[in-house]
Amino acid sequence: MIIKVAKNAGFCFGVDQAVKTAYAVLSNSEPGTKVYMLGAITHNEFVVNDLIESGMHLANSVDEIDQGSTVIIRAHGVTPQIKDAIEANHCKIVDCTCPFVKKIHKIVKQESQKGKRIIITGKNGHPEVEGIRGEAEDYVTVVESQEDFDLLETDPENTILISQTTFSSSEYKKIRQNAKNKIANEQFFDTICSTTENRQREASDLAASSDCMIIIGSEKSSNTMKLYDICNSRCANTFLVGGVHDIIKVLENPVFSTPNIVVGVTAGASTPDCIIREVIQTMSEDQATANQEQTDINFGDYIDNIPQLRKNATVRGAITSADNEFVYVDVHDKSEGRIPRHEFANDPDFDLDVAIEAHTEIEVFVRSVRNSDMGKEILLSKAHVDFGKYKAQVEEAFENATPVTVKITNVVKDGVIANLGGVDIYIHRTQLDLTTVNDLDQYKGKSIEILVTQFDPDKRRLRVSGSRRALLNSQRKEKADEVWSAIEVGAEYQGVVRSLTDFGAFVDIGGVDGLVHVSELSWKRIRHPSEIVSVGDNISVYVKDFDSEKKRISLGYKRSEDDPYHNVEERFPIGSIVHGKVVRMFQFGAFVELEPGVDALCHVSQISDVRLNRPEDVLTEGMEVIARVLDVSNETRRISISIKDVEAINPVKSDDEAFDKAEKEEQVVASVEDNVEVPMETDSDAVVSTDEIPTEEVSLEDAQTEEASTDEMPAEATEEVVEK
């Protein structure tokens, strides 16, 4: 017979604490003071009878308790009303309610005060359920199965779901899964005791791999009967035994005579270790023909299955569940250990959801073990174990110059902190890319590949530095050799814009940077490359020229098919009439936009019928004009036009100028007709006013008028005028 004992068999923390407290109260009570347990302290006749024989009294109600007695409340807990009745009877209360049950009492009380409905998954009438119900009688509904729950109508925002600590974890998970439409997410409270869940899961696995299953416990115990149901569903030969007297009868079953039969053993939370040991010992002694050495080893294994975790030890455990703060691990102790959830974020290859589903075993470091009111608290660390493992990996990467993938977790003053399995690696801002990075926040949360450039384990704290730039440069060099071996004029590449200058953009075409001159970026006139491209843009370029010795490459970006002057001779033939808008003016003429990107020059002499000093005399920017094409060339990319060939634009004189000119012309004509001599000053000190000097020249018409007047004069008058 091969005996396999479940690691989580026997007393749970709550029952164990209650039984130990009961014996302690008995031994320390004053003479004459009665000590009562209100209800059987555990569903095990051996333990209850032993306590009674030791002097303790069993009371099933408050009415059975004498005044002034000491009353022990068992792990199941009681209602607040019962506590009040005990105190009213002047009795001393020793509350051994399980910490997990106390937590449920607190939740129900708080949530019911908010007016919320409480649904408990558990067994109606069970002492634990009845104690919880007493916190909010009018608000509590108990469901024993998924079918019961499906019949309920709920208000999702005002309903919560909790569970009896010993309820079937698989049944609870089914109910919770189907409750998402009936209860809001934040209103689920997973209150099944972790030890109970581990015990049920372990029993299920053990039953599946055993020929027979022995369940040690009382049929009155809720959690024991759940173990029996679970094992019976996976192993046909499942037997419930209360102690040694039962196992002797069970061993008479012919199935136990099978050679090398595998027998699995587990026990409910109310079963003390002594009974479990007696049952196993009886099984061993009864099998006279069995391999005694094998049986002894398995019995010894059971003793070892109650491990004593110690601080700073490294142990293995199975991941069972998680919440927002912690991940819970079964380390084969009465209580589960917990790991801060953020430690799993440092391992990008670890899928926590999959690990929980598969109950993946991992190595963990025991940071601390201490007892509290909530039971044994075991704080574990995955990062501590990972640190040692990944520290060796980082050191190897440093020595062999092999790249590693890290996740950036934090931004500091001059760089970032990356992490590889708990090992922090500093990367300076100049080492994040081929150029200095100013915006460090964009890297937070990203995974990148780097080279480890410093590994110093001799300091008090491990110092590790890395560089992505060194890796990129190494990769660029390899790619550059490929580019130079195959480069040719006209070859096209997909490149990345690395930097911008006033004269152009540098583009990485795969390990080599080429220059796209600012004139090659666009067919239109631009002042800076940033008008067309930005750093980091992926663009298509082609090789215009290169020098392998000087390692220089000239690239083109604009395409001939996009040239606005393409086939301009066909689109604007000589002699055609065009319509455009004045866009720029110079001393020599004005540029007129015929199409976007196509400008024609109208020389200053081709604007007006009169001579202009500058185009601004008659034109303004934005002014629309009509002109004739005089010359056009695809090769020189020039178009000449004439405005005056269509309709000249002549300057217009103002009304004041015209009036002044007409007045002066009349004065000249009048002086000639009247032979009026304009006296001249002879005084040498006299100053002639510049205002009296005529500024207008005599026009051709004026000159003709004057000549006609003198011809009509008599000869004598003419001579007289001449003399004068």
* Total H helices, total E strands in the chain: 21, 31
pLDDT at 321: 86
pLDDT band at residue 299 using 50, 70 and 90 as cut-offs: very low
Range in 211-225, 283-297, 632-646 with the lowest mean pLDDT: 283-297
Q: What is the pTM of this model?
A: 0.41
pLDDT at 459: 62
478-530 pLDDT tens trace: 788 888 888 889 888 888 898 899 999 999 888 788 999 998 888 888 889 99
78-131 pLDDT tens trace: 999 999 999 999 999 999 888 888 889 998 998 888 888 999 998 888 888 999
Residue 446: left (phi > 0), alpha (psi -120 to 50), or beta?
beta
pLDDT at 626: 95
DSSP 3-state assignment of 221?
coil
CB 52 within 8 A of CB 34: no
444-466 pLDDT tens trace: 888 899 999 988 877 667 889 99
Q: Is the pLDDT of residue 714 over 80?
A: no
pLDDT at 555: 92
Name the catalytic one among 128, 144, 202, 336: 128
- Point out which residues pair with 546 in neighbouring strands: 553
CB 364 within 8 A of CB 386: no
Q: Is the pLDDT of residue 635 over 50?
A: yes
Report the top-level CATH class of 314-381.
mainly beta
Most confident of the ranges 374-378, 426-430, 459-463:
426-430
Taking residues 568-584, what's their average pLDDT? 93
Beta strand pairing call for 589-595 and 598-603: antiparallel
pLDDT at 331: 83
Q: Within a 13 Å sphere around the CA of 364, how many CA atoms are in the beta-carbon half? A: 30
Taking residues 411-430, what's their average pLDDT? 87
Percentage with pLDDT > 70 across the chain: 85
pLDDT band at residue 620 using 50, 70 and 90 as cut-offs: very high
CB 203 within 8 A of CB 266: yes
655-705 pLDDT tens trace: 555 555 556 655 655 554 555 444 444 343 433 333 443 433 333 333 333
Burial of 664 (0-12, 13-18, 19+ CB in 10 A): middle
Q: Is the pLDDT of residue 639 over 60?
A: yes
Task: Specify the CATH architecture of the domain 568-647.
Answer: Beta Barrel (2.40)
Q: Which helix (H) or strand (E) holds 339?
A: strand 337-340
Range in 9-18, 336-345, 395-404 with the lowest mean pLDDT: 9-18
Is there a common fold for 314-381 and 385-471?
A: yes
CATH of 385-471, picked from 2.30.110.10, 3.40.640.10, 3.40.50.360, 2.40.50.140, is 2.40.50.140
Taking residues 289-308, what's their average pLDDT? 43
**Is 488 considered catalytic here?**
no
Three-state SS for 243-261 is CHHHHHHHCCCHHHHCCCC
Please give the CATH number for the structural domain made up of 99-187: 3.40.1010.20
Q: Is the pLDDT of residue 301 over 50?
A: no
pLDDT at 674: 53
Q: Is the pLDDT of residue 54 over 90?
A: no
Range in 323-332, 579-588, 711-720 with the lowest mean pLDDT: 711-720
CA distances from 668 to 251, 672, 697, 699, 721 (A): 153, 6, 11, 11, 17
Domain spans in the chain, listed from the N-terminal domain onward: 99-187, 209-304, 314-381, 385-471, 487-560, 568-647, 655-723
CATH of 209-304, picked from 1.20.1440.230, 3.40.1010.20, 3.40.1400.10, 3.30.1370.60, is 3.40.1010.20
pLDDT at 709: 38
Q: Is the pLDDT of residue 197 over 90?
A: no
pLDDT at 215: 93
CB 405 within 8 A of CB 446: no
pLDDT band at residue 293 using 50, 70 and 90 as cut-offs: very low
| Average pLDDT, rounded, for the chain | 81
Task: Specify the CATH architecture of the domain 487-560.
Answer: Beta Barrel (2.40)
Task: Give 244 or 673, the one with higher predicted confidence.
Answer: 244
